[in-house]
A = this chain, B = another copy of it.
Amino acid sequence: MQNGKVVSMIRFDSVSKRFPNGTTAVDDLSVEFSEGGITVLVGSSGCGKTTTLRMINRLVDPTAGTITLGGRDVRDLPAARLRRGIGYVIQQAGLFPHRTVLDNIATVPTLLGWGRRKARARAAELLEVVGLPADAGKRYPNQLSGGQQQRVGVARALAADPPVLLMDEPFGAVDPVVRALLQDELIRLQAELRKTIVFVTHDIDEAVRLGDQIAIFRTGGHMVQCAPPAELLARPADDFVAGFLGSERGLKLLSLVTLAGVPYEPVGSVRSTATVKEARDAAAGRWLLVVSPDGGPAGWLDTGALEGLPGTSAVAGLALAPARGLRDSDSLLSALNETVSSPAGVAVRVDAAGVVTGVTGQDVLHARQRSLT
A interface with B by C-beta (< 8 Å) = 44-45, 175-177, 202-203, 247-251, 253-254, 333-334, 336-341, 343, 345, 361-362, 365-366, 368-369, 372
Contacts and interface: CB of A to CB of B under 8 A. Distances in A.
B253 A340 contact: yes
A59 B298 CA distance: 49
A177 to B, nearest CB: 7
Contacts of A338: 250
Contacts of A343: 369, 372
A362 B202 CA distance: 34
A122 to B, nearest CB: 33
Nearest to A341: B250
Contacts of A202: 175-176
Contacts of A176: 202-203
B177 A337 contact: no
The copy count of this chain in the complex is 2
A202 B175 CA distance: 9
A362 B340 CA distance: 11
A345 B369 contact: yes
A43 to B, nearest CB: 11
9 contacts: A176-B202, A249-B337, A250-B339, A251-B336, A253-B341, A254-B340, A345-B368, A362-B362, A362-B365
A47 to B, nearest CB: 11
Contacts of A366: 345
Contacts of A369: 343, 345
Given A202-B175, A365-B345, A337 B250 contact: yes
Contacts of A336: 251, 336, 340
A249 B247 CA distance: 18
A152 to B, nearest CB: 20
Contacts of A251: 251, 333, 336-337, 340
A362 B341 CA distance: 15
Contacts of A248: 333-334, 337
Q: Which 10 A-B pairs have the closest CB atoms?
A: A250-B341, A250-B340, A250-B337, A345-B369, A248-B337, A251-B337, A362-B362, A340-B368, A345-B365, A251-B340
